[in-house]
Amino acid sequence: MSTANTTTKNRHLELIGIGLIALLILVVLPVWLDAFRLNLVGKYLTYAFVAVGLVLCWGYTGILSLGQGIFFGLGGYCMAMFLKLEASSVANTKIQSTPGIPDFMDWNQLTHLPFFWVPFKSLPFALIAVIAVPSLAAFILSYAMFKRRVGGVYFAIITQAFAAVLTILIIGRQGYTGGINGITDLRTMWGWDIRTDGAKEILYFACAFLLIGMMFLARFVLSSKLGRILVAIRDKEDRVRFSGYDVASVKVFIFCLASAIAAVGGAMFTLQVGFMSPSFVGIVPSIEMVIFCAVGGRQSVVGAVVGTLLVNYAKTSFSESFPELWLFAMGGLFIAVVLAFPRGIAGLFTDQVVPLFMKWKSARDGATPDATPAPAE
């Protein structure tokens, strides 16, 4: 079987996979689950955005980022800042010393809105910022690194450091950011109450459609010429550079794209969960997001989404059934996955299930010309 043939086959598989995911999250889950569980799935789906981004930059380009929480968090914070300002109207905050500013600023003796909060009174600005701020951060970080040809483990460490720095900054400047409590008690978006069950359902579908859109975007990038350059960079970066490609720019682009996708997830998270806190920005959540992607299979967009859903489902159900032991169960699950199928669930599928299916199919195709197939014994 030629390689080209396999690639087309895999592409078809991937399309079927996306179709199945769409069926699952748009039809099956909404019908099957109650409002509370559906909202939980909505939360998991926001992590899947990060995993899709990681497939692009880690699975295909070989850039391991242990700081995707930065971009998820920045996107979430941009959204939260807008929502918080809307919730902090003068009428809602009249018990404060300075009405009209978010409650945590008042607790920290701030008497006016800091300048960088002011533009977030506008929803269009906030929506642009959700993409622009994390992309800019990703650009600065990756441009500085990749232009100097810093890559691999060093880059992973630097993203981690950056995540730690940002967390400390947010916690330390609590008057401006809400500190360790985060930005809580978000209520409405342009007067639309986001806390009702109806609103949660609409946000769930918005999130699901956006995720499917991002999966197609990722597929589009990967199946383009750019996608092949990405794989080439992953496998032999120097050769691509010697062939005349500007490797650094390609890497910067894909890293920014992955970050922007993560940021959209962060904004959807804020909308669905109703708050944002530094616990999504730090090192631990960032690594957790890499694990979601690894469990699903880092070279498959579909696998990453499935992995995210499965791991989070396991996390919730283990912790509900065994509140005292669940962390051990999670640890065991990760070890088992990494030992048994290092390419994740998607790898398990393409390596084991697909060949079996092919064998069965070719056996059947081979058998059809026979008018009377042999008895099954």
Partner 1 sequence: MPKKPPTDLQSPLRRKLLVGTAAASAAAMMSSPQQAFAQTFPTAKVNTTGLAVTDTEVTVGILHSITGTMAISETGSVEAEKLAISQINESGGILGRKIKFIQEDGASDWPTFAEKAKKLLVENKCASVMGCWTSASRKAVLPVFEQYNGLLYYPTFYEGLEESHNVFYTGQEATQQIIAGLNWVNETKKARSFYLLGSDYIWPRTSNKIARKHIEGHLKGCKVLGEEYFPLGHTQFNSVINKIKLHKPDVIYAIIVGGSNVAFYKQLKAAGIDLSKQTLLTISVTEDEIDGIGGENIAGAFACMKYFQSLDNPANKKFVEAFQKMWGAKTVIGDVTQAAYLGPWLWKFAVEKAGSFDVDKVVAASPGIEFKDAPEGYVRIHKNHHLWSKTLVGKARTDGQFDVVYTTPDLVEPNPFPKGYQ
Query: Which of 246-254, 258-266, 272-280, 349-357 is the region at the interface with partner 1 (rule: CB under 8 A)?
Result: 272-280
Q: State both tokens at 364.
A: 């059947």
Q: State the minimum distance, in angstroms, from the CB of residue 45 to partner 1.
A: 14
Binding to partner 1 (CB under 8 A) within 280-309 occurs at: 280
Smallest distance, partner 1 to C-beta of residue 181, A: 4
Residue 275 binding partner 1, by CB under 8 A: yes
- 199-202, long-range: CB < 8 A, 24+ apart: 200/35, 200/38, 200/39, 200/42, 200/272, 201/30, 201/35, 201/38
Contact 8, 16 (CB under 8 A): no
Q: Which conformational region is residue 251 in: left (phi greater than 0), alpha (psi within -120 to 50 degrees), or beta?
A: alpha
Stretch that binds partner 1, among 118-126, 182-190, 205-213, 345-353 (CB under 8 A): 182-190
Q: Closest approach of Cβ 277 to partner 1, in Å?
A: 5
At residue 61, the 3 state secondary structure works out as: coil
- The window from 136-144, 184-192, 247-255, 354-362 that contacts partner 1 (CB under 8 A) reads 184-192
Q: Which of 222, 49, 250, 224 is nearest to 134 (CA)?
A: 49
Name which position in 23, 202, 327, 358 contacts partner 1 (CB under 8 A).
Answer: 327
Query: Binding string, 211-250, against partner 1, x = CB under 8 A?
Result: ----------------------------------------
Alpha-carbon separation of residue 59 from 64, 85, 236, 323 (angstroms): 8, 39, 14, 34
- Binding flag, residue 273, partner 1 (CB under 8 A): yes
Q: Write a three-state SS string for 159-184.
A: HHHHHHHHHHHHHHCHHHHCHHHCEC
Residue of 227, 298, 280 lying closest to 7 (CA atoms)? 227
User: What span, in angstroms and rounded, lies between the C-alpha atoms of 367 and 144?
Assistant: 60
Beta strands in the chain (DSSP E): 188-189, 192-193
162 vs 140: CA distance, rounded Å = 12
Position 356 contacts partner 1 (CB under 8 A)? no
Task: Select 10 or 92, whichever has its Cβ closest to partner 1.
Answer: 92
Within positions 10 to 39, which residues make up the interface with partner 1, using CB under 8 A? 34-36, 39
Q: How far is the CB of 191 from partner 1 (least distance, A)?
A: 17
* Residue 320 binds to partner 1 (criterion: CB under 8 A): yes
Q: How many residues bind partner 1 (CB under 8 A)?
A: 39
The reply to whether 279 sits near partner 1 by the rule CB under 8 A is yes
What is the C-alpha separation between 74 and 262, in angstroms, rounded? Answer: 9
**Shorter beta-carbon distance to partner 1: residue 185 or 201:** 185
What are the residues binding partner 1 (CB under 8 A)?
Answer: 34-36, 39-40, 43, 95, 97, 103-104, 107-109, 168, 171-172, 174, 179-182, 184-187, 195, 273-275, 277, 279-280, 316, 319-320, 323-324, 326-327
